[in-house]
Structure 1
Amino acid sequence: MDRKDAYRARICLRAAAGCNRHIDYVYFWKWLPEYQLMWMTGYDIVGGTASDHNGVVATFTIHLTRQRTAGHGIPCPQCPERKTGDAAMTAGRTTPTREDVLGYFDTLSNWGRWGDDDERGTLNHITDDVRLAAARAVRHGRSVSCAWEVAVPGELERSTTTCPYAVDMPGAENMPAAFHADRRWGFSSERLGITFHGNTITHLDSPCHIFWDGTMYNGRSHSLVDEATGSAWAAVTAAANGIVTRGVLLDVAGARDVPWWEPGQGVFPDDLEEAERRQGVQVRAGDAVLLRTGHGRFRREGRAASGFAQTGWHASCLPWLHERGVALIGADSPQDVQPSGYDDVLMPVHAVGLVAMGLWLLDNCDLEACATTAAELGQWEFQLAVAPVRFAGTSGSPVNPIATF
């Protein structure tokens, strides 16, 4: 593995009674301020340290909170009693190079696939047959929200007007006579201001949200986005009829038997496939894939990531999503793992996904109730309905995705 990218060590901690705590792989990533412990299978990580000044891991300390169930990870040569299982969770993981990721703008491009005037991108995977199949996924009639409540006043500028008796409101003297006949009704109304893009509000990104080299999806120039009128291309109104399709929840936190993935841990294709195997479900064309990393629980318990770090999709998932024909992805984080691992591609999932693929994104979902319901029912597929507000020329919309089982 390239020295500039990562370092890994394999160690075995031996207690007096033998090797009962075992670390499979430890990754140290160079782009953090210090060489912070980033990813490990088999245990919950609660601490880690740095390296020497030459960029080689010299010393480190970690604290283990519990041992995983046997059957995962790769065996230690010194620990024959340790059972082996699917090694995809640990070994043989291929990380795309910078050149690979930049190449995704070409190799994963959907420009022209559905015509030169297409603004819907991967939503074209959702055909009438896909919607009918999604309806058949409803077997219990139970629905759950996949959105966070928008906090007031923290995330929403709000001005509320209350009028106990409408006949007393300003301007009532100009209303028709019939308006004054009913003196018992009143009302409240609101004026709202919201910036939904970011790391907290559940929202939908349309393809015009991100530019790459000044270009949007399907080769359109950023100049089509006007300060006064918004975007004339690939705005959220391209999904005006809503997004109704089969949703699949991939609970990678549950698959690893941890409460959450730590900030900075990236989800790879083999993690997705491990979740598929454990849950008995397979992602197919037209699906919306919702990724549960446990960040919703992390957030609900008041945890805070240090620095610019968050869990999420690794760039290596992009070819997997493209090959599967996924129409929409969502996550309980803001999507991209941070740091991304690529100095000049800050958010590869956003950049390649929206610009090259036309892949619509659901950021900052709350998937805890969805995961609880799926586990209770033993059903990891459902009908997903997302109805963005028809904001003209806008690069997205706050949404409340509904999963119906």
Structure 2
Amino acid sequence: MTKSPKYSDLPLNKGDPFRSAWGLYGKDDQLGTLNRLTEDIVLEASKEIKTGTRISLNWPMDVQNKTPFFNRQVFHQNMYAKPPRCVNDDVWTFNTQSSSQWDGLRHFAYQKEKRFYGDVTLEDIHTPGSTVNGVGAWSEKGIVGRGILIDYYSWAQNQDPPIPHDAFATSSIPLEHLKAALAAQGTEIRFGDILFTRTGFVSQYTSKSDDELKTLAAVNPPGMAGVEQSEEMLEWIWSNFSAVAGDQPSFECWPTQKEWMMHEVLLAGWGCPIGELFDLEKLSEECKRTGRYSFFVTSEVCNVPSGVASPPNILAIF
């Protein structure tokens, strides 16, 4: 793996978009920051397995069937019998971003430049038969390594006075708060870690009535809490992580509070997977019970060579 340059050295090439790292891993690279998950780093991460406790971070695929946000298509299952045998088959149709998901490198471009990771164009992606930047490239080795949870929601509720947090309102979670929660947990970051942020979205979503969710989902674009958009946040992610994920729908505060979006830099600039709508409730409980907020992560994206995004199929193992 090529050693990562300093954040201040980005972009790597004159004329490339804001803070991009195009070319760091080669002209035709499809893995981005997943290149940080070397065999040595994964082997070291496997030492996190102590008890064999396994926790799924996958929200049900049909969870938003009544009230989809961002006007996305809901999950649909067509199950049918196959007489004369006593046999069933089923067909699923769904938007890959209607529940837990990894955003792939075809999902979000630099909006002004209209360029995806590696200077790929929309035309490149839509060329018949093209698999460039397809999520299937991640399936060969998966997203596997050491995960850490920042349980921001619990930390905020335990402050005196508690820090108010509405997951359904446009608001930014400051980097200093994430670092304070990390310190309170006693969690150490290691280079190449996979970051998970529990912000309370899933907890608050499941506590709302259907009518409340319908009202919130009707707002377009919806307001969502997420991590702050700042160069300090970007530098922190660049300096530490191979992928980032959270329970919130957009990971970052939405709509953006800047002239740029973190999605542009993470996905189009660095090839950094963004996980969204992960169910971190049981994970939070286990971390609190054990006092341990690091674990082994295994996530196998669907092997769809031209895919834009994928369910994570993810487990945390203690």
Q: TM-score normalised by the shorter chain: which range applies?
A: 0.7 to 0.9
What amino acid does structure 1 have at the position aligned with 2:42? Answer: R
Alpha carbons 1:260, 1:298 under 8 Å: kept: no
- CA offsets, 1:205-237, max 9 Å, x none? 1112112222111112221112754x5311111
Aligned to 2:9: none
**Residue 197 of structure 2 corresponds to residue 291 of structure 1:** yes
Q: CA deviation at 1:328?
A: 0.7
**In 2, Cα distance between the equivalents of 1:141 and 1:368?**
19
Aligned to 2:31: 120
**Residue 175 of structure 2 corresponds to residue 272 of structure 1:** no
Among 117, 134, 137, which residue is 1:238 paired with?
137
Aligned to 1:329: 244
Among 112, 117, 123, which residue is 1:217 paired with?
117
Aligned to 1:18: none
Any runs of at least 4 consecutive aligned residues in structure 1 with deviations exceeding 6 A, and if so which? none
**In 2, Cα distance between the equivalents of 1:366 and 1:357?**
25
**In 1, Cα distance between the equivalents of 2:279 and 2:267?**
22
CA 1:164–1:260 in structure 2 vs 1: closer, same or farther (change >3 Å)?
A: farther
CA 1:370–1:296 in structure 2 vs 1: closer, same or farther (change >3 Å)?
A: same
Among 78, 84, 91, which residue is 1:159 paired with?
78
- CA offsets, 1:161-201, max 9 Å, x none? 113642xxxxxxxxxxxxxxxxxxx211111111122xx40
**In 2, Cα distance between the equivalents of 1:260 and 1:189?**
47
SS of 2:28's partner is coil
CA 1:150–1:299 in structure 2 vs 1: closer, same or farther (change >3 Å)?
A: same
**In 1, Cα distance between the equivalents of 2:299 and 2:44?**
16
Q: CA deviation at 1:260?
A: 7.4
Structure 2 counterparts to residues 67-146 of structure 1, below 5 A: 106=17, 108-146=19-57
Structure 2 counterparts to residues 306-385 of structure 1, below 5 A: 307=219, 308-316=222-230, 317-324=233-240, 326-334=241-249, 335-342=251-258, 344-345=259-260, 348-385=261-298
Aligned to 2:313: 400
What amino acid does structure 1 have at the position aligned with 2:238? Answer: H
- CA offsets, 1:298-334, max 9 Å, x none? 011126448421111221222210122x111101012
Alpha carbons 1:260, 1:293 under 8 Å: kept: no
**RMSD, aligned CA:** 2.2
**In 1, Cα distance between the equivalents of 2:53 and 2:80?**
36
CA radius of gyration, larger in: 1
**In 2, Cα distance between the equivalents of 1:265 and 1:279?**
23
Alpha carbons 1:248, 1:287 under 8 Å: kept: yes
Q: CA deviation at 1:282?
A: 2.2
Q: CA deviation at 1:284?
A: 2.2
TM-score normalized by structure 1? 0.64
* Percent identity between the two aligned chains: 23
Aligned to 1:180: none
TM-score normalized by structure 2? 0.81
What amino acid does structure 1 have at the position aligned with 2:201? Answer: H
Aligned to 2:105: 207
Q: CA deviation at 1:274?
A: 0.7
Q: Which runs of 5+ in 2 are unaligned?
A: 1-15, 67-73
Q: CA deviation at 1:261?
A: 2.6
Aligned to 1:17: none
**In 2, Cα distance between the equivalents of 1:141 and 1:201?**
26
Alpha carbons 1:259, 1:297 under 8 Å: kept: no
